[in-house]
Amino acid sequence: MPGLTTDEVTMPVLGRLDSSARREDQVAHLAEVARQIRIQDLKLVHHGGAGHIGGDFSAIDILTVLYGAVLDVSPATVEHPERDRFILSKGHVAGALYTTLATFGFLPVEELATFLQPLSRLNGHPNRVKVPGVEANTGPLGHGLPIAVGHALSAKLDVSRRRTFVLTGDGELQEGSNWEAMMAASQHELDSLTVIVDRNRLQQGATTRETNDLDPLDAKAAAFGFSVVEVNGHDHGELLDVLSAVPFRPGKPTFVIAHTHKGHPISFMSNNVKWHHKVPDAEQYQQALDELDALAPDRDARRPA
Amino acid sequence: MTLTAKAPQTGSIADEPRYDCRNAYVETLADLARADHRIVGVVNDSVGSSKLDAFKKAFPDRLINVGIAEQDMVGVAAGLANGGRIPFVSAASCFLTARALEQIKADVAYSDHNVKLCGMSPGVAYGELGPTHHSIEDLAWLRAIDNLTVVVPADPVETAAAMRWAAATEGPVFIRVSRMGVPVVYREDHEFVPGRAVTLRDGQDVTLISNGTVLWRALAAAEQLAQEGIEARVLSMPTVKPLDVEAVVAAARETGGIVTAEEATRTGGLGGAVAESVVEHHPARMRILGIPEFAPTGSAGFLLDRYGMSPEGIAESAREVLGR
């Protein structure tokens, strides 16, 4: 499968709205950014011949809201010691992260064409040494949360207001290291830490319930000392309201259970375990593009023919 | 000949007083912490076994105890480094390296986080506690990881010097900190240079390459060999990775053979590293001394002797290499 060509990288760099924008404009903007990121990510996976599109589409709305409205980090402050940190613990959705970073100007959009190509810095899992905006080299599961706890501890020692956000998969919570880290987060009262769980209820080949059921996840997180909030992980307004309002309890880290669907919103991918790392063929690719086109807010914003 | 070797005050290095390197470790860590607010300790309930009680009293906020959770400990250290701190992770080497190996690889080395991993009581220090508590595989595992400097200091002076270098240098480092008593090998003003062997004794007949708790034993072996007219070169090789290939190749070229001796597995550690260089650059006769198996019950000293690393045993291996 030939790689994506630079010509096919059509995504506009939409950037962030001014934080003084009206909430409804923010939400509409975030929805359109997320739609554009999905279109581009679909191309990456289709042309790259690999990737984790199910998990990508599950997480894109969360990534969009974080980078589009919540995180205090920009291409200009990507090295600044006081920037907010975002750690993508589910490193296999690197395609979604790269596309998001490009959308907000951390990477040249044209570079997305190199995804998974020989010697590209955009490999299947993110690399902080090579890719601006990446904070940890993740991929093996259960690593992000301990790193996030360490960062939140450093902020506390510095008496700094910088915050730490970490996105984990739900199947990933089967790794014990997460629970080690949650105990430490609670012990040290790290209220600058927000854990977001991409709760799509599917892992590589089965549901989480069939594998190692995580429920009651809210009660477990609460028992580990977290303040727990549940949101629709595809609702930009809900995500914006919750992620902008953390922490909810002083002295407590926050645990956001974001209910999502793998492959959302593509009809044949959504909530379908087969789409963990399946690559859409030409017909499926076209259908997915058509479905994303149909979600365009107006004709002018549509993808060029 | 490097001048930083300390001349024994007594007749033999074997008769010198012995020191627990953990004391030099905690004193140096406190000095570093006083001078640089970025220095923090990270432990897995190992405050006592790492002798960090005084550090905890002096810097209560800067000793982070994550509890008995090694994966979390190393991930937390990576996050602290991301936030600008210089974490010294202090934990029993067996648990630090085995239990958190993937975190060492991905969160520290591959992520290039400025973390100092300090493996306490390595090798067979916990002799009688058995192979669950021995850390003889650590050098082989860690030497295979890119972007990680692996240091095995031989005495309190070298332990302190390696720590000062590590604190002042950006990047991932692993330092083994011995508890088994060792005599002082280096002069007090010894400066640690990563990747450089130190010639502690010159000789042209055979070369003994060692580090850590076995180094003084190699020096004592050289004393014994000298009485037989065999002049052994003794190379201290504190940095297992990157290895001082030049010093190894010179030893292979200039002397009649090489004996390596270490408190670690016979495969993949210092001996393995030396053998790779010898085979690639200048094939020579070699003997690799180390711990070849899950060791039976016994103290660290007993076990080193048992596996041919008493001064007599090392001298015997040198004679074998020379065909005498």
Tell me which of A123, A127, A153, A159 to substitute to probe the interface with B (most B C-beta atoms closer than 10 Å).
Answer: A153
Residues from chain A contacting residue B84 (CB–CB below 8 Å): 81, 154, 158
Q: Does A138 touch chain B (CB under 8 A)?
A: yes
Residue tagged active-site, from B16, B70, B158, B262:
B70
Nearest-neighbour CA in chain A from B45: distance (Å): 12
Tell me which of A80, A137, A164, A192 to substitute to probe the interface with B (most B C-beta atoms closer than 10 Å).
Answer: A137
Nearest-neighbour CA in chain B from A67: distance (Å): 19
Phi-psi region of A218 (alpha: psi -120 to 50; beta: other; left: phi over 0): alpha
Sheet with B198-201: list strands edge to edge: B198-201, B232-236, B206-210, B258-265, B286-291
Q: Does A128 touch chain B (CB under 8 A)?
A: yes
CB contact under 8 A, A153 and B103: no
pLDDT at residue A92, as a whole number: 95
pLDDT at residue A14, as a whole number: 73
Per-residue pLDDT, averaged over A261-272, amounts to 94
Contact A165, A151 (CB under 8 A): no
* Residue numbers of B between 148 and 177 with CB closer than 8 Å to A: none
CB contact under 8 A, A146 and B62: no
* Residue numbers of A between 229 and 258 with CB closer than 8 Å to B: none
CA A216, A219, A224, A225 torsion-angle sign: positive
Q: Does A148 touch chain B (CB under 8 A)?
A: yes
Angle (CA) A121 A122 A123, round 5°: 100
Distance CA(B256)–CA(B249), nearest Å, equals 12
Q: Does B12 touch chain A (CB under 8 A)?
A: no
pLDDT at residue B46, as a whole number: 86
Asked whether the predicted pLDDT for residue A11 surpasses 90, the reply is no
Nearest-neighbour CA in chain B from A153: distance (Å): 7
pLDDT tier at A3, thresholds 50, 70, 90 = low
pLDDT at residue A49, as a whole number: 86
pLDDT tier at A10, thresholds 50, 70, 90 = low
Residue in chain A nearest B67 by alpha carbon: A184
Mean pLDDT of chain A: 92
Distance CA(A83)–CA(A88), nearest Å, equals 16
pLDDT at residue A9, as a whole number: 64
For A78-101, how does the pLDDT look when each residue is reduced to its tens digit (9 = 90+)?
Answer: 999 999 999 999 999 999 999 999
pLDDT at residue B1, as a whole number: 45
Q: Which residues contact B174 (CB under 8 A, 6 or more apart)?
A: B97, B104, B117, B118, B119, B138, B142, B148, B149, B150, B151
Instruction: Tell me the C-alpha to C-alpha distance, in Å, between residue A90 and each of A35, A199, B85, B147.
Output: 21, 12, 25, 23
- ipTM > 0.85 (yes/no): yes
Residue A258 C-alpha from the chain's centroid: 11
A86 bridge partner residues? A165
Q: Does A124 touch chain B (CB under 8 A)?
A: no
Asked whether the predicted pLDDT for residue A66 surpasses 60, the reply is yes
- The secondary structure of residue A234, as a DSSP letter, is T
CB contact under 8 A, A128 and B111: yes
Asked whether the predicted pLDDT for residue A291 surpasses 90, the reply is yes
Nearest-neighbour CA in chain B from A155: distance (Å): 7
CA A139, A143, A147, A148 torsion-angle sign: positive
Q: Which residue has the tokens 């650059």?
A: B281
Residue in chain A nearest B109 by alpha carbon: A137
Nearest-neighbour CA in chain A from B235: distance (Å): 36
**Dihedral angle over CA of B303, B305, B307, B311, nearest 10:** 150
Distance CA(B7)–CA(B269), nearest Å, equals 28
Residues from chain A contacting residue B112 (CB–CB below 8 Å): 128-129
Nearest to A56 by CA among A150, A153, A148, A167: A167
Size of interface A-B (CB pairs under 8 A): 113
Q: Is B188 a catalytic residue?
A: no
For A189-220, how does the pLDDT look when each residue is reduced to its tens digit (9 = 90+)?
Answer: 999 999 999 999 999 889 999 999 999 999 99
Residue B293, judged by CB atoms within 10 A of its CB (0-12, 13-18, 19+), counts as exposed
pTM of the model: 0.93
Angle (CA) B45 B49 B53, round 5°: 80
Give the 3-state secondary structure of residue B277: helix
Residue in chain B nearest A91 by alpha carbon: B106
Q: Does A157 touch chain B (CB under 8 A)?
A: yes
Tell me which of B72, B102, B103, B105 to substitute to probe the interface with A (most A C-beta atoms closer than 10 Å).
Answer: B72
Asked whether the predicted pLDDT for residue A236 surpasses 50, the reply is yes
Please name the member of A81, A140, A164 whose beta carbon is closest to the beta carbon of B84. Answer: A81
The alpha-carbon radius of gyration of chain A (Å, integer) is 18
Q: Does A265 touch chain B (CB under 8 A)?
A: no
pLDDT at residue A40, as a whole number: 94
pLDDT at residue B304, as a whole number: 98
Tell me which of A89, A157, A187 to substitute to probe the interface with B (most B C-beta atoms closer than 10 Å).
Answer: A157
A258 bridge partner residues? A198, A231
pLDDT at residue B4, as a whole number: 65
CA B287, B292, B297, B300 torsion-angle sign: positive
For A155-198, how does the pLDDT look when each residue is reduced to its tens digit (9 = 90+)?
Answer: 999 999 999 999 999 999 999 999 999 999 999 999 999 999 99
Each residue's pLDDT, cut to its tens digit, for chain B (324 residues) gives: 455 677 766 689 999 999 999 999 999 999 999 999 999 999 999 888 889 999 999 999 999 999 999 999 999 999 999 999 999 999 999 999 999 999 999 999 999 999 999 999 999 999 999 999 999 999 999 999 999 999 999 999 999 999 999 999 999 999 999 999 999 999 999 999 999 999 999 999 999 999 999 999 999 999 999 999 999 999 999 999 999 999 999 999 999 999 999 999 999 999 999 999 999 999 999 999 999 999 999 999 999 999 999 999 999 999 999 998
Residue in chain A nearest B113 by alpha carbon: A136
pLDDT tier at A4, thresholds 50, 70, 90 = low
Residues from chain A contacting residue B116 (CB–CB below 8 Å): none
pLDDT tier at A276, thresholds 50, 70, 90 = confident
Residues from chain A contacting residue B172 (CB–CB below 8 Å): none
